[in-house]
Structure 1
């Protein structure tokens, strides 16, 4: 037994935004992880100080990752 086309369509319409949000959350998580991985070693070594990092939010993510 399978659901009707109308039920499938309604289900798809309701669930698709959740998949879009999941994809967006995953992309944001990857960006935050990359920023974390780039900054943490520099902060721990003293190469960067917290006051130096405060303005980095204005820098593009790719530039920050390449620090």
Structure 2
């Protein structure tokens, strides 16, 4: 992933989690395909955030990742 903006990734992660929760709460439709796509996006975003973690022993503090339900 070329994006190196941790805050943008954290915001995107929170947004996708919120969308997934809303999608799973909808009745009358089968959200399986959309939920699967969002879960795949979440995995990619989380992997990108993992790559941006500072090396062990560095002084940089990672921002808190908020979980949106």
Greater relative contact order (Cα 8 A, min sep 6): structure 1 or 2? 2
Answer 1 or 2: which has greater helix percent: 1
TM-score, normalization by structure 2: 0.37
TM-score, normalization by structure 1: 0.38
Larger radius of gyration: 1
